[in-house]
Structure 1
Amino acid sequence: MNRGLSILVALFATTTLFAQAPYPSRVDLRFDHWYDYTEMTQALHDLVQEYPELLTIESIGQSVGGRELWLITLNSPASGNDREKTAMFIDGNIHGNEIQAAETVLYSIWYLCKSYGVIDRITELIDERSFYFLPIANPDGREVWFHEPATPHFLRGGIRPVDNDHDGVSDEDGPDDLDGDGHITSMWIQDELGRYEIDEDDPRFFTRVDADDPPGGWSRLGEEGFDNDDDGRVNEDGIGGYDPNRNWPADWQPEWIQYGATDYPFSLPETRAIGEFLLDHPNVAACQSYHNAGGMILQGPSASYMSYPRADMNVHTAIANKGGEMLPFYEPMVAYKDLYTVHGGEDGFTYETLGIVSFTNELWTDKRMYGNGEDPSRDERTQFRDLLQFEDVFVPYHEVIHPTYGKIMVGGTKKYSSRVTPPWMLEEGCHRNFAFTMYHADEMPLLEWGALDVKNIGKNLWKVTIEVANDKLIPSRTGMASKHHIGSPDVLFCTTSDNNAVATSGTVRSIQQTAKLDAIDSENPARILVNKGIGSKSSTLFQFIIDGSGDVSLTYKAEKGGTISRVIELKEQFEPKTIEHKRAIPNPAL
């Protein structure tokens, strides 16, 4: 069984119950519970304290509100420094209301730690790779959602003041909790021309009357709120008013094109901190961002005029399609084609600017309600909320006196009613998304030496042909990085001694004697730049013509694929390599 398939089987086959019971953790965390910022901070520090052999924690910056952006590094130092390994960056909750994203990241840290030394494939994965986790990319928005009256959709952004209504004052007219129950619900008023009526079968709902029917007698006024600034409008200038996931320097567009983009890319301290961290960690080869609703595995491009190299698209599609098998009712999607256009998005930045294979997962889908892959009808949704959630997501309609409208009705669904995974369904969603992310991590480039052929072609003149192979889906250098010269190209070094020297070098297509050397044009033939890297599940043959005797040392360095080295004795020899995928030199024994 190949390694990518083995980790898929090991994690995908693990049920929610099985995830916890056999492998105890040193830290008791619950995944039927939402952690606010303070609780999440404590949970992260508890994990670091109990797993010091794997975890470190640091703040990579502060939010607009002064909250720390806590980042966890997960690495086994016994197998190398985290910066010397191929790494994955995983974040969540860049939108404040998308809370289960943070729990999914927390679950990932927790599960990896308790499985290290217990589950062989996870142990091997941690030994080979390093991971960077940022559970809460928008702590201010999360805190508003938890501790202030909110809706399923608010607060999406952060708390930096924005003058949304352009009256010279910021954030002065947001939603108001009219009845003080801690929820922002809907306001309804009796209106003889209103097109809604109270549902006679279920008075918790208003139903729109048909166009040919008489008026229903009710109109919706919007969400709870007053006209706090006396401009004739309600709730038009609440907290914030921007989108942190439109603030990245990749196809960024100004506000009149992309709502929420703010003044310029990285103008928000949260996005700047993440961007600077990634720029400082060029070993990151994979990124995963967790959002909260839709059941999607999103990849770029995010705009129709953007073009991605075909080879990179094939890699993204292969990983996303596997995710579609692991995550019931999720759909792999190309953002602009299957959803909508996004300018200045995070995964656009990580892939288009840094050459990192990146995905955004939208975690909850209503298709999970009945497990049948179908979007529930209104009646089915109501039954789910009644019988499985015990009506906990409703505020019954009741009268309130409004200073402008007089007697109105207030009520409806709470902030937990949609978008957020029901707590008792949370852990399975965390585990399946974690398993998909580990599959993605396991497909990061992993370079190996392949076949070796050393031939004497004259007195003290040697032809050394060496294969560098990558059995993983993700190349050591993406096509985007190669095309736009992002980061550093791969390099193969041949270190000689006083007894030998490299005369020329390059690549060849085969080891046949007639194979032509595609020599590099360089004053230093002992150093071969490999701009395209080692491709997806493939290999490259390199050749050095060496004059002399003794040993030479070969070192292949890839910014996102790690470093491998070996010493070669200048003598007649041939070493085939057992392979799993097509390589430049096939093994004649297969």
Structure 2
Amino acid sequence: MKKRLSACALLLIGWLGTGENNVQAQTPEQVFNAAGPPQNPKVPISWNRYYDYAGITEICAKLAKAYPDLVKLETIGDSYQGKRIWALTISDFNTGDPFRKPAMYLDGNVISNELQGSEFALYTAWYLVENFQDNAFIRELLQQKTFYILPTINPDARDNIMHRINSANATRAGMIPLDDDSDGLVDEDQPDDLNKDGHITFMRRKSAKGRYVVDPQNPLRLIPAKAGQSGEYELLGYEGLDADGDGRMNEDPPGYYDPSRDWAWNWQPDYIQHGALKYPFSVPENRAVKDFVLRHPNIAGAQSYHSNGGMGLESLDAVEEGNTENQGHNQVNDLLKRYAEQVIPGYTYQLVYKDLDSAFGGKLNWLHHARGIFTFSNELMSPYLQVDRQKTKDPEQEAGPVDVNYMPPFQDAYVEWVPFEHPTYGNIEIGGFKKNFPQAHPGDLLQEDAHRNMVFTLYQAYQLPQLEIREVLTRKLSNGLTEITATVANTRILPTHSGQDLKHKIERPDYISLKDSTVVAGMVLHNPDQQPGREQKLNLARLEIPNIPGLGFIKVRWVVLANKPNLVVEVDSRKGGVVRRAF
């Protein structure tokens, strides 16, 4: 056996070659490239891990340096602790002003322990620029559209959960110190790591009144006892102490507020919506994002990444569903979410008010209702990614839901339960899962799910309005007048104004202009044969159009006092871009 091993080793050494640098990477001729992510990116990034604020900053800077014609990096404001909030503008800068193109907004990590939103947003930025040269679809997309990508809008809390001792369910908050229970104390120290193992895990004790038993598939995990089954353990929450003797453990964490309840649509104070702060946009990070969105009225679509649950959320009020103004909006949302459910297996799309508990002051609602943006919020991690939801025990029976108890345990996700003498609870045990599980994706699933969610984001961006001036027809009239009729089409499914936009008159109308100074009449034709149409009384050369529908068109007409008019037509839409054509 020893001789055989030596022979194999010698053969391997001979194949690799000799010398100091004998191990060579495979040559391009030896590689069969997989479709999708680039094989030799300018900015190599490992997508099986999570990056802290410094890591995110470094990735953003490297992308901007490697692709100056595609990426602009800017700061939109500072966090409470003074960290810069980064925004990436991604577009083909050589094909027009990014501000005048229809734009897709993308952000992540508004909540501290929902980390993967940052990696998903960064993956989208990276994939776009690295594939621009060789992927015709992406090249066309960045020529026509702009992406605004904010990887983390809660950088203080992101670093807090990564670098300090925390539990998997650390506070959702940012870092503004608050007296959570009005006892005059604010604990700005790290939570109590009672057994000094570097992790905040759970406390449990044996009890006849316990409702939990040990998971037979994973002895480090507790699961609820089944009906009729006696429980063995009482779960006491995360490990910690009652610092001020009021009977509460681990209270007054730094910044106990919810940045997802700080937005100025249907905002409610804390006694109604727990987690709200003083007033809408009282959180500095959210104010910076709000100001950025207001400065970019070309944002027509948005995606905000959260975790977890495997859900895509959208926002429509129950009273609005029957409104004719929202019919087109709802149809567009239905088309988008049907596509998303195809490319993101296991995800279901739900209305916030209808399928989930009501929440007030959310960013999803603000973007949709206050800004008229077609907005989704994907709740990311779900058991579907680890086990098939449909599991059939008997081939003749219909498939049923999988018991998530069968999820395979991850070696590095749990710590052993160890005894501890607690000053309040007495003899207990400390252990269970760590903060890298279960909200955060395991490394092997991170890139796959980031890619699938990115595909949906790119599809939504592709379907932002795309305007074309199809034709301009002229007809001679008497007395030196000429009639000019122009057709403007929108070749994608999103209209230039959403139902909410039309209802609340959020954005200005679209303009269709004839660049001729001799216009004496201008009108919008509601159908091609209508005479004379809806005439505009003022500013005759620049016609105001309330909306250019998705996969639809608008016809306009001018009468000019000229035998040879200037046949230059321009369409200027906040969310549909600017198109100019001479005939």
Q: Same fold (TM over 0.5)?
A: yes
Equivalent in the alignment of 1:11: none
User: 1:540 Cα shift?
Assistant: 0.9
User: 1:423 Cα shift?
Assistant: 0.5
Q: Distance in 2 between matches of 1:505 and 1:41?
A: 52
Deviations 1:135-160 (A, max 9, x none): 01111121122112223321322111
Q: More displaced, 399-408 or 115-124?
A: 399-408
Equivalent in the alignment of 1:435: 455
1:293 to 304, 308, 317: 308
Equivalent in the alignment of 1:349: 366
Letter in 1 for 2:429: M
User: Aligned-residue CA RMSD in angstroms?
Assistant: 2.3
Q: Distance in 2 between matches of 1:112 and 1:521?
A: 43
Aligned to 1:416, what secondary structure does the other structure show?
Answer: coil
User: 1:425 Cα shift?
Assistant: 1.2
User: 1:426 Cα shift?
Assistant: 1.0
Q: Distance in 2 between matches of 1:159 and 1:313?
A: 38
Deviations 1:39-80 (A, max 9, x none): 111111111121122112111111112211111111222101
Equivalent in the alignment of 1:226: 241
1:535 to 545, 549, 571: 549
1:97 aligns with 2:113: yes
1:261 to 262, 276, 296: 276
Letter in 1 for 2:96: G
Q: Distance in 2 between matches of 1:16 and 1:36?
A: 31
Equivalent in the alignment of 2:160: 144
Number of equivalent positions: 539
Q: Distance in 2 between matches of 1:509 and 1:430?
A: 44
Letter in 2 for 1:19: G
Letter in 2 for 1:377: D
1:557 to 569, 572, 576: 572
1:170 to 186, 189, 194: 186
Q: Is the contact between residue 469 and residue 486 of structure 2 (CA under 8 Å) also seen in structure 1?
A: yes
Equivalent in the alignment of 1:30: 46
Aligned to 1:458, what secondary structure does the other structure show?
Answer: coil
2:138 to 90, 114, 122: 122
1:379 aligns with 2:396: no
Distance 1:458 1:116, change over 3 A: same
2:421 to 401, 404, 409: 401
Q: Is the contact between residue 172 and residue 228 of structure 1 (CA under 8 Å) also seen in structure 2?
A: no
Q: More displaced, 190-199 or 240-249?
A: 190-199
Q: Distance in 1 between matches of 2:112 and 2:217?
A: 35
User: 1:203 Cα shift?
Assistant: 4.0
Deviations 1:481-530 (A, max 9, x none): 12211121111222324xxx222221224444xx2222324133222111
Distance 1:410 1:299, change over 3 A: same
Equivalent in the alignment of 1:370: 387
User: 1:420 Cα shift?
Assistant: 1.5
User: 1:339 Cα shift?
Assistant: 2.1
Deviations 1:306-326 (A, max 9, x none): 667221111112111111111
Q: More displaced, 222-231 or 189-198?
A: 189-198
Distance 1:207 1:548, change over 3 A: closer
Deviations 1:441-499 (A, max 9, x none): 000001101233221232422221111110111111222112211121111222324xx
Aligned to 2:153, what secondary structure does the other structure show?
Answer: coil
Equivalent in the alignment of 1:73: 89
Equivalent in the alignment of 1:135: 151
1:412 aligns with 2:428: no
Q: Distance in 2 between matches of 1:495 and 1:455?
A: 17
Equivalent in the alignment of 1:51: 67
Equivalent in the alignment of 1:522: 537
User: 1:16 Cα shift?
Assistant: 11
Aligned to 1:542, what secondary structure does the other structure show?
Answer: strand
1:489 aligns with 2:509: yes
1:358 aligns with 2:375: yes
Q: Distance in 2 between matches of 1:205 and 1:414?
A: 11
Q: Distance in 1 between matches of 2:228 and 2:493?
A: 58
Q: Distance in 2 between matches of 1:428 and 1:254?
A: 39
Deviations 1:363-416 (A, max 9, x none): 2111121244575424312xx11xxx3x22111111112222232111111122
Aligned to 1:545, what secondary structure does the other structure show?
Answer: strand
Q: Distance in 1 between matches of 2:227 and 2:451?
A: 47
Aligned to 2:122, what secondary structure does the other structure show?
Answer: helix
Aligned to 1:293, what secondary structure does the other structure show?
Answer: coil
Q: Percent identity?
A: 34
Aligned to 1:42, what secondary structure does the other structure show?
Answer: helix
Deviations 1:334-371 (A, max 9, x none): 11112222211112111211111111111211112124
Deviations 1:239-287 (A, max 9, x none): 3211111111111111122111211111111100001011011111111
Q: Distance in 2 between matches of 1:201 and 1:469?
A: 59
Q: Distance in 1 between matches of 2:524 and 2:225?
A: 73
Distance 1:401 1:325, change over 3 A: same
Which structure 2 segments of 5+ residues have no match? 1-31, 392-400
Q: Is the contact between residue 422 and residue 428 of structure 2 (CA under 8 Å) also seen in structure 1?
A: yes
Q: Is the contact between residue 524 and residue 543 of structure 2 (CA under 8 Å) also seen in structure 1?
A: no
Distance 1:317 1:200, change over 3 A: closer
Distance 1:188 1:173, change over 3 A: farther
Aligned to 1:285, what secondary structure does the other structure show?
Answer: strand
Q: Is the contact between residue 244 and residue 271 of structure 1 (CA under 8 Å) also seen in structure 2?
A: yes
Which structure 1 segments of 5+ residues have no match? 1-14, 569-590
Q: Distance in 2 between matches of 1:199 and 1:78?
A: 58
Q: Distance in 2 between matches of 1:517 and 1:480?
A: 30
1:240 aligns with 2:260: no
Q: Is the contact between residue 366 and residue 376 of structure 1 (CA under 8 Å) also seen in structure 2?
A: no
User: 1:217 Cα shift?
Assistant: 5.6
Distance 1:373 1:562, change over 3 A: farther
Aligned to 1:520, what secondary structure does the other structure show?
Answer: strand
| Structure-1-length-normalised TM-score | 0.86
Aligned to 2:380, what secondary structure does the other structure show?
Answer: strand
Distance 1:280 1:152, change over 3 A: same
Equivalent in the alignment of 2:394: none
Q: Is the contact between residue 490 and residue 557 of structure 1 (CA under 8 Å) also seen in structure 2?
A: yes
2:266 to 225, 247, 251: 251
Q: Is the contact between residue 148 and residue 182 of structure 1 (CA under 8 Å) also seen in structure 2?
A: no
Q: Is the contact between residue 264 and residue 280 of structure 2 (CA under 8 Å) also seen in structure 1?
A: yes
Letter in 1 for 2:424: T
Equivalent in the alignment of 1:12: none
Q: Distance in 1 between matches of 2:91 and 2:280?
A: 31
Aligned to 2:439, what secondary structure does the other structure show?
Answer: coil
